[in-house]
Amino acid sequence: MVSESASSARAGRPKALSHRQILDAAAEIADTDGLDAVSFRVLAERLGISPMSVHRTTGGIDALRRDLISTLVGEAVSSIDWPTDWRGVARTFAYGLHDLLMRHPLVLEAHRQASLEAPGADDTAHRVVNALSLAGLEDEQATYAYGALHDFVTGHVAIQLGRGAFDSAPADRREASVFALHHDPTRRFEFGVAVILDGVGSIAQQGNTP
């Protein structure tokens, strides 16, 4: 992390920072305070450079935010080691998306506003749908099964990020909750994914039954 202040940077020759350094700083800000908190002024103060330097490097705040999302999603997709069986493909997608959104809440925030435009994002969706088709689902069923899995993951993460840990809730609410005895978010996620995939398997088997 750069420790030099913006004022000291302005006093001398402006420091040259890479586009990636600016993206990393923007990710830290957005994950903590939201995408709207990412501005030239805030980035300049964080990095010890002038707002104009940020602008010249990134090409504008809207371009910076788009590039930030595209970079994070593209890197996550490119690192996936896809299995060959349909269930493995679907599980890999679900857990990969879960990990990305939990690690970078800013991606979930952006995804609420619009579909993600990033290298490999559409290919990933088509890969999962194709895998579900190979499992025996019809085209429409495979598409909606992907949607159900996608929506479960994003909804689960949104709840976890929005509500925080179950143990942080007031005692009376914890005692009254249906989750009073079973509130492990990891187990809840694993079970939800398993239920969806078991349902896919059941529908595919019914379709293949003479």
Dump pLDDT digits (tens) for 181-205.
767 889 999 999 999 999 999 999 8
- Strands (E) located in 18-168: none
Q: Is 95 exposed, middle or buried (0-12, 13-18, 19+ CB in 10 A)?
A: middle
Q: Is 31 exposed, middle or buried (0-12, 13-18, 19+ CB in 10 A)?
A: middle
Amino acid at 146: Y
Better-scored residue on pLDDT, 98 or 208 = 98
Q: Is 28 exposed, middle or buried (0-12, 13-18, 19+ CB in 10 A)?
A: middle
User: Across all residues in the chain, what is the average pLDDT?
Assistant: 87
Question: What's the pLDDT score for residue 2?
Answer: 35
Instruction: Supply the pTM of this predicted model.
Output: 0.83
Is 50 exceeded by the pLDDT of residue 118?
yes
Is 70 exceeded by the pLDDT of residue 8?
no
CA distances from 147 to 10, 17, 93, 153, 190 (A): 50, 40, 12, 10, 17
Angle formed at CA 147 by CA 141 and CA 148, multiple of 5 degrees? 90
**Three-state DSSP state, 81:** coil
Cβ–Cβ under 8 Å, residues 64 and 22: yes
Q: Give the model confidence (pLDDT) of 150-188 as tens digits.
A: 999 999 999 988 876 666 667 777 677 777 676 788 999
**Three-state DSSP state, 8:** helix
Q: How far apart are CA 191 and CA 69, in angstroms?
A: 29
DSSP state of 74: H
